[in-house]
Amino acid sequence: MPGFFSPSFVCRAAPGLALALLLAAASPVQTTTARLIPFHKGQKWGYADQNRRLVLPLQYDEAGPFVQEIAWVRIGTLYGYIDGGGNPVTPVQFSKAGTFQRDRATVELNGETFQIDGSGQRVTTPAEPEPETDFLTQGDLTRQNGKVGFRFTVGQAVVPPVYDEIQENYNGLLFVRQGAKWGVLNNKGKLTLPLEYDAIRAVEVNNFANAIVEQQGRFGYLAEDGRLLVPIKYSAAEPFLADVARVTTPDGRTGYIDARGREFFE
């Protein structure tokens, strides 16, 4: 388990369960490109650039993504943090280590859980509360005979009340459910992803908005235009962090993909 972000993390949502949408519809998707991406060869991990050239040597037993130019790494059973030049930010001493969010990371040392800042120092003040999010910024829900539709505030698009559930998402997209199946509508009310998926889960981490799509126990990602970024093929898929996401293939290989869907595997 890489600290508090397990490689076996599976994004599932039971049909009919309201999706945990953590982002405002008006929030733009972050497109900052990750400078270095975790890369492994054999049993060792290092970091490669966008052209898959090895930049930081293969010397770790596991490596996490760079967020705020800091990444967790594991040597043996312990974790530490490095900067973009491979220099240590903390000693390799933690039994658990989380990815940085809002300038903080959660760690565990000698059975005690606490947070550290970007310099590796222990944080003693509580984190600022997350801002409240209004999920209906693009228009209004309409209801008729137990079904739900949507009327966009901007433009003339109207979604007829034929769905069992509608969730608002970033980039003017709507997640819609009929029965047990989910699809995606664009801001013109047109289906960009058909109603054939078991779950669509939207998350935002460090201002990077992304959505994970599930179909028959396999996972893929939603692109900004409401279509699939990558095919539904992974056995596990974690949210994007700093433009990269950790995935696991059905045959058990774990690696990272970038926001263009390119795999950074051996």
Find the mean pLDDT for residues 21-35: 41
Cα 162 from Cα 160, distance rounded (Å): 6
Cα 23 from Cα 71, distance rounded (Å): 24
Average pLDDT, the chain: 82
Residue 21 clears pLDDT 70, i.e. is over it: no
Structure confidence by residue, pLDDT tens digits, 186-200: 988 899 999 999 999
The CA-based dihedral angle spanning residues 257, 261, 262, 266, taken in that order and rounded to the nearest 10 degrees: 40
Find the mean pLDDT for residues 91-99: 95
Question: For residue 183, what are its two tokens?
Answer: 């699809």
pLDDT tier, 25 (very low <50, low <70, confident <90, very high otherwise): very low
State the pLDDT at residue 108.
Answer: 95
Give the per-residue SS3 of 128-177: CCCCCCCCCCCEEEEEECCEEEEEECCCCCEEEEEECEEEECHHHCEEEE
Q: Which residues contact 94 (CB under 8 A, 6 or more apart)?
A: 3, 78, 79, 80, 107, 108, 109
User: Where are the domains positioned within the chain?
Assistant: 37-116
22 or 67, greater pLDDT? 67
Pick from 30-34, 214-218, 258-262: least confident:
30-34
State the pLDDT at residue 224.
Answer: 87
Q: Is 119 left (phi over 0), alpha (psi -120 to 50) or beta?
A: alpha
State the pLDDT at residue 192.
Answer: 94
State the pLDDT at residue 201.
Answer: 87
Residue 17 clears pLDDT 50, i.e. is over it: no
State the pLDDT at residue 124.
Answer: 77
Cα 166 from Cα 174, distance rounded (Å): 7
Find the mean pLDDT for residues 161-165: 93
Backbone angles phi, psi at 171, to 5 degrees: 60, 30
State the pLDDT at residue 89.
Answer: 96
CA angle 65, 38, 86 (to 5 degrees): 80
State the pLDDT at residue 190.
Answer: 93
CA torsion sign for 103, 108, 110, 111 is positive
Structure confidence by residue, pLDDT tens digits, 234-257: 999 999 887 899 999 999 999 999
State the pLDDT at residue 33.
Answer: 56
Count of Cβ atoms closer than 10 Å to residue 206 Cβ: 17
State the pLDDT at residue 120.
Answer: 94
State the pLDDT at residue 183.
Answer: 96
pLDDT tier, 75 (very low <50, low <70, confident <90, very high otherwise): very high
Structure confidence by residue, pLDDT tens digits, 117-158: 999 999 977 666 544 333 456 788 888 888 999 888 877 788
Give the C-alpha distances (Å, rounded to integers) separating 144 from 19, 148, 188, 226, 243.
Answer: 22, 7, 21, 26, 40
Cα 66 from Cα 234, distance rounded (Å): 22
Residue 256: name the closest of 242, 224, 226 by CA.
242
Q: DSSP assignment, residue 6?
A: -
